[in-house]
Structure 1
Amino acid sequence: MLEYKFDTQLLIAGHDLSEDAINEYITNNIEGDCLLAVGDKDLIKIHFHTATPWKVLEYCASLGDIFDVVVENMERQENGLQG
């Protein structure tokens, strides 16, 4: 059983976005691992493994428009099922 079973990925479109600020917030406030927050001040790509993907979505939506949202259950994938 995976501790952080949801692979959460999305894009955030906004203004004055900061990779460092987003990385710091998620690291300090949402349990998980394998965090990537990359992009520029107008567009950031998020990749994060967590048990609570809704927290990631809620936070990111507070920063701008979120889109291309993908939440995959890696535990199901590991068992040969569709994630």
Structure 2
Amino acid sequence: MVEFKFDTQLLIEGQNLNEDQINDYITNHFKGDCLLAVGDEELIKIHYHTNEPWLILEYAATLGEIYDVVVENMERQANGLKG
């Protein structure tokens, strides 16, 4: 069994985005692991393992337009099923 069930990935397009601030906010406010928040002031890619992907999506939507959203169930994948 995996501790954090959902692999959550998305892009945020906006203005004055700061990958360090986004990284710190997610780390301090949402339970999970394997965080990547990389990009520049206009585009950030997020990758995060969590049990509450909807919270990451809600937060990201406050920063700009979100797209290319992928939420995969890693527990199902570990059991040989489609995630």
TM-score, length-scaled by structure 2 = 0.99
Corresponding position of 1:62:
62
2:26 alignment partner, SS class: helix
1:36 equivalenced with 2:61 (yes/no): no
In the alignment of these two chains, the number of paired residues is 83
What stretches of structure 1 move > 6 A for 4+ residues in a row?
Answer: none
Corresponding position of 1:75:
75
CA distance in 2, matches of 1:69, 1:43: 14
CA distance in 1, matches of 2:81, 2:18: 36
TM-score, length-scaled by structure 1 = 0.99
Aligned-residue identity in percent: 71
CA-atom RMSD in angstroms:
0.4
In the TM superposition, what is the alpha-carbon distance from 1:2 to its structure 2 partner?
A: 1.4
In the TM superposition, what is the alpha-carbon distance from 1:29 to its structure 2 partner?
A: 0.1
2:77 alignment partner, SS class: helix
What residue ranges of structure 1 are gaps of 5+ in the alignment? none
CA distance in 2, matches of 1:17, 1:47: 16
